[in-house]
Amino acid sequence: MKQDSVRLKHILDAMEALEEYASEGHDLFTNDRKTRLAMTHLVQIIGEASRALSDTLKAGAPEIPWKEMGAMRNILVHEYFAADDELIWDVAIKDVPEIRQKIQAIWNNISQ
């Protein structure tokens, strides 16, 4: 469980940073290569950390798309030529806020 707590914290930190970047707006994302690269890297961190979580923790929260989070990381790392920048943007503004709340609740429960 200790390792899960650390990984969940990595996910939460990356999600927070991703939301901060997204709050700067789509124009910055579109026009600033460094911002796009940073946001892409944060999605990779989220995916990698989610893959490292225990099966027990993931089974206890089936509403969180753990498999998809890991799959996104694989696409970004191994099939980067197929990655779409707008997919990263959509993850940041649509998926992360909802998922972050759920993961925060899990982290609060196991980190005490």
Q: Which of 33, 36, 51, 73 is catalytic?
A: 73
Respond yes or no: is residue 41 known to be catalytic. Answer: no
Give the type of residue at 79: E
Q: Which of 10, 51, 78, 100 is catalytic?
A: 78
56-60 long-range contacts, Cβ below 8 Å, gap at least 24? 57/1, 57/4, 57/106, 57/110, 60/106
Respond yes or no: is residue 26 known to be catalytic. Answer: no
Q: Which residues contact 30 (CB under 8 A, 6 or more apart)?
A: 36, 85
Active site residues per annotation:
73, 78
